[in-house]
Amino acid sequence: MRYTTSAAFVAATMTLSGQALADEATRLGDVSVIGSKEAATELPGSASYIDRQDITRQGYDDINRILRETPGVYVREEDGYGLFPNISIRGADPGRSSKVTIMEDGVLMAPAPYAAPAAYYSPTVGRMSGVEVVKGSSQVRFGPRTTGGIINYLSTPIPQTRSGYLRSAFGTDSEFRNQLWFGDSVEGAAGEFGYLVELYHRQTDGFKEMQGPASDLGPDAGDTGFRRVEPMIKLAWAPDTALDQRLELTYGRSELDADETYLGITTADFARNPNLRYAASQFDNIRTQQERAILRYSLAPTEALSLDAKLYRTDFARNWDKIRQVNGNSLSAALAQGGNDLATLRGEQAGTWGYRDNNREYYAQGAEFSAELDYATGDIGHTLRVGVRRHEDEVFRFQRNKTYNVNAQGQVVSLDLNPPGSQDNRKQQAEATAVYAENAVRIGALTLTPGVRFEQIDWTVQDFRGATPDISEGDEGYVTGGLGFNYALGAGSALFGGVYQGFSPPSPGDGIAGEDAEESVSVELGGRFRTAGGIAQELVLFGTLFDNLLVPDNAGASGTADNTASVGEVETYGLEYALNYDPGRQLGWRFGTPLSLAATYTSAEIANDSNAAGDPESIFSGGRDGAELPYIPDFQISATAGVEGARWSLSLRALYVDEAFATALNTEEEVILGGDANNPQVVPDARGGKIDSQFVIDLTARYALTERVSVFANAFNLLDREYIASRLPEGPRPGAPQTFLAGIEANFY
């Protein structure tokens, strides 16, 4: 066993109590990691609570747009709709949100968070009642990767009284959105019974424009949109007993059918039409199915003691059938170099389109138990929290390559299929035991929260491509901890901060081979200030030193991107600022004028002189001492201004995101470090260069027809700004263009 012990201690995490999420909360203590907007202001660390009103105010169903209103959070757009988020908190690598702990209702929700953390599934924000973001002291209770923070999605809770809700909208590109739920809680002889039934649906034809003739080999050839359907049911029972207890079962399903591609376009074509797609991507399609079941039990034997237990299981299957090569060569190289390969991509020259069935199945399951005890020693108050989790997960890859042979008109003349499983046929499994303990100590206005976390991970990798299975095993154990503080200044103001160590294990294959884990030491110091004039502000200084930063070894290229590679030491530091103020309400005007501002400055640099990731085709290869990390811009500012009357409201949000380098080479040119490990060479590649700065304005209008029924209209990217949002996975990709949406929202009963 390799065993890692931290020298620093992790700052305290959020209060996890029986506090309600809202008036109609589920009343389960471990659903939320923060609890409410008010609770977020009392924590020994920086965090944000985004409620349902925040989600619907601008009509967003894209987690990228919502998170950009939170200081310290960066996202890399990919598809324009937020189907595949790439989230970074305070300079962590954003690739597939693999460094962020993604949860729904307090349960791990990445398909296989230990065995394969790349989150090709992320909960749909449009159906949520809230989103919690913990940036600082999140590292004691929530793992396995504790270097990048937490995002906890809060699903619709069971209402305490009979309630129904409908939100329906139609917009540009035949976009159609619907959310409908109905629920109630009723008293019976055996106690209180509650239920909720929900259906969420979204579909669109997409904003991309396919170039060249579409093939007749499939009914969806040439489409660029998607369809998502998500039903959910919740059942609850609170027995009529002397003890306060509750049992709840949640079952949900998510189905996605998206004609999405990894392939971008050339910079020259982007300047002419950023929404173009080449004919070679006409068969690209990803289909996913996710099922989740959560059984929770909460018990409060006394007012001071609460116990929570849960069993959970998630299953996720996906097949991303996508182009990966042209004429046997790299896609991103073809975009940068032009010539025959580019002509074949456009459907203007005979050649081959190399596709791959990226077929994978995942499962994750586990059992968790947590307890919270309030007690006192003299005049000193304590809140002790302990927990244990036993978890296992797996990813099974069963993939093959296939080749479309096309003529000079871009028409498919034949299809060559390799046997199923010939490209990849293997399993990665992980079993983990995690234990944590923390104690919030309240001494007058000061709260100190020390905590410690232990985790043991056991890996197994099975490769079935040979005559006999190749099986390898390994393990990793670590201890981390931290210390956070919150000092109340009165009137809602406080100072807070902490120091903690984060940990991120390597991929199972790399861990078994002896790759060191990623460790980090982070500090933050901040203040929350509320004035008598109603101005609420938060200012935070943060810094993180990463030792052995781990990244995907071949992000976006034609390789497997299944393993991790070491960048080495990385230093990040920055400043976050948030402001909320409503001068209209404060000064007694007849209408409200809510104002908000979220600003972030981040410096994220490689702190050693090496080739960084060992794979010459990685976007991190070639990074030298002082090089900026890819896709981490220096500045990001989101400002919102609104006007609210008794029955109407108007809200405008402006977002500015600074430009950033697309590779650790930090070049303006479309190049990357190619060749091989023994002979690295700078070669043309469309994944290199820069991504554009962004300035996007969104506008929302709303009018209440009755107390229960409202109509609304949204304009996204009102100025129709065009910008390169990403150069991953394979070349320049646009942000979403100007889009309009209008609909109705109704509450029943």
Reported as a single tens digit per residue, the pLDDT across 258-291 is 999 999 999 999 999 999 999 999 999 999 999 9
Residues in the chain: 749
Q: pLDDT, tens digit, for every residue of 523-550?
A: 999 999 999 889 999 999 999 999 989 8
At 619, the amino acid letter reads I
User: Would you say residue 561 has pLDDT above 50?
Assistant: no
In 346-465, DSSP assigns E strands to 351-377, 380-406, 412-417, 424-443, 446-463
- Cβ atoms of 107 and 34 within 8 Å: the answer is no
Proportion of the chain above pLDDT 90, given as a percent: 80
pLDDT confidence of residue 449: 93
38 vs 255: which has the higher pLDDT? 255
- Closest Cα partner for 656 from 690, 698, 689? 698
Mean pLDDT of 694-698: 97
- Cβ atoms of 39 and 21 within 8 Å: the answer is no
How far is CA 697 from each of CA 81, 196, 249, 579, rounded to the nearest angstrom?
Answer: 16, 36, 41, 19
DSSP string, 676-734: ETTEEEEEE-TT-SEE--EEEEEEEEEEESSSSEEEEEEEESTT----EEE-TTBS-EE
Residues 29, 640: Cα–Cα separation, whole Å? 33
Residues 600, 216: Cα–Cα separation, whole Å? 49
How far is CA 535 from each of CA 13, 529, 588, rounded to the nearest angstrom?
Answer: 26, 8, 15
Residues 407, 98: Cα–Cα separation, whole Å? 40
Q: What is the CATH number of domain 2-146+169-748?
A: 2.40.170.20
Q: pLDDT, tens digit, for every residue of 332-365?
A: 999 999 999 999 999 999 999 999 999 999 999 9
User: Would you say residue 5 has pLDDT above 60?
Assistant: no
Beta-carbon contacts of 361 under 8 Å, excluding residues fewer than 6 positions away, are: 315, 316, 317, 395, 396, 398
pLDDT band at residue 564, thresholds of 50, 70 and 90? confident
Helix boundaries (H) for 451-593: 508-513, 583-586
Cis omega (within 30 of 0) for bond into 301:
no
Proportion of the chain above pLDDT 70, given as a percent: 92
Name the residue with tokens 């890996």. Answer: 459
- Cβ atoms of 43 and 10 within 8 Å: the answer is no
pLDDT confidence of residue 45: 86
Residues 98, 79: Cα–Cα separation, whole Å? 18
DSSP 336: H
Mean pLDDT of 69-90: 94
CB atoms within 10 A of CB 307: 17
pLDDT confidence of residue 220: 64
pLDDT confidence of residue 613: 57
User: Would you say residue 555 has pLDDT above 80?
Assistant: no
Residues 550, 661: Cα–Cα separation, whole Å? 19
Q: pLDDT, tens digit, for every residue of 368-412?
A: 999 999 999 999 999 999 999 999 999 999 999 999 999 999 999
Mean pLDDT of 220-238: 93
Q: Is 161 exposed, middle or buried (0-12, 13-18, 19+ CB in 10 A)?
A: exposed
